[in-house]
Structure 1
Amino acid sequence: MSEEIQTFTTEYLDDCANLYVEVFNSEPWNEQWTIETARLRLFEILNTPGFIGFVLRQDEVLGFVAGYCEQMQKGKGFYLKEICTHHDKQRRGIGTKLLNQLMNTLTGMEVTAIYLVTMKDGQAEAFYTKNGYQRSQKLIVMSKRFYK
């Protein structure tokens, strides 16, 4: 079967949740997702107004990208919430193909900016840098934990 990029719909939710757990529970993230929590996260993103997402398949889902458009001060912005590529298929252009599909779609919608949050100084940042993204000089990410 040849490689194909399709719109991310609920049809792909379970496959993408399984991939999400496999990837983000491993190095370098070492998170603790379950299939249920990953499925719920992706379901929530999928149902956010302005959602745009794609999956790349070749017999199975090899990767996906997902996020949503929102109104910014000057035009529309796109919040890239998740991009995920099968461990064994990384560094083979899947993520770049997904970003290119996303860019083509967003350009046609007159989106003026894409923003995202990722781990600094790692392979994810290197991937985004390679694809033309740069660290913001104006913005930082802040968090506050309030659970036990």
Structure 2
Amino acid sequence: MKFRLITENDIRNCAQLFSHVFSTEPWNEPWTEEDAFKRLNHFFESKGFVGVLLESEDLMGFALGNVEPFHFGDMFYLREMCIDTKMQGSGHGHKLLESLEENLKNMNVNSIYLTTDIEIPASKFYKKNGFNFKDTMGFYAKPINS
């Protein structure tokens, strides 16, 4: 098992894993591999991209996002993270986050932030891994093309 930074050649495999993981419980989202590729490739091509993957013989998981400047220093917006459904609950997600954090510390990034549904297991996972829920912050969405 090893961790390494994501390269352009990894995006297709990450998209395949992403579409599989997020099409199952508890998300049940209708991701196709092509839609997942478009999303992940968009992040890859964006300024400040950082991504780490976990692999053995096959891809086991990844975490990716973008470094953003802020008035008190750089922050990392964790856009997507997933672990193969067969590996969830075995500590691999924790180790993946640790690897990501180590890479970000070496880049002098001050903090990581993310958004997730508070009613799914991922919310508990992030809390268990040191993330604090900010009840003073809100996530707003407005449909503009119905």
Q: TM-score, normalised by structure 1?
A: 0.94
**Partner residue, 1:129:** 127
Please give the alpha-carbon distance, in whole angstroms, between the structure 1 residues aligned to 2:145 and 2:91: 39
Please give the alpha-carbon distance, in whole angstroms, between the structure 1 residues aligned to 2:85 and 2:143: 30
**Partner residue, 1:90:** 88
- Percent of matched pairs sharing the same residue: 36
Choose from 3, 26, 32 the match for 2:30. 32
Please give the alpha-carbon distance, in whole angstroms, between the structure 1 residues aligned to 2:27 and 2:57: 27
Q: Offset at 1:80?
A: 0.2
CA RMSD of aligned residues (A): 1.0
Q: Offset at 1:89?
A: 0.6
More strand by share: 1
Please give the alpha-carbon distance, in whole angstroms, between the structure 2 residues aligned to 1:132 and 1:8: 24
CA displacement 1:63-122 (0-9 Å, x = unmatched)? 000001001121111000000000011011111111101111111222112110101032
**Paired positions, count:** 146
Unaligned runs of 5+ in 1: none
> 3-state DSSP class of the match of 1:128?
helix
Q: TM-score, normalised by structure 2?
A: 0.96
The residue type paired with residue 74 of structure 2 is: K
* 1:66-77 paired onto structure 2 within 5 Å: 66-77=64-75
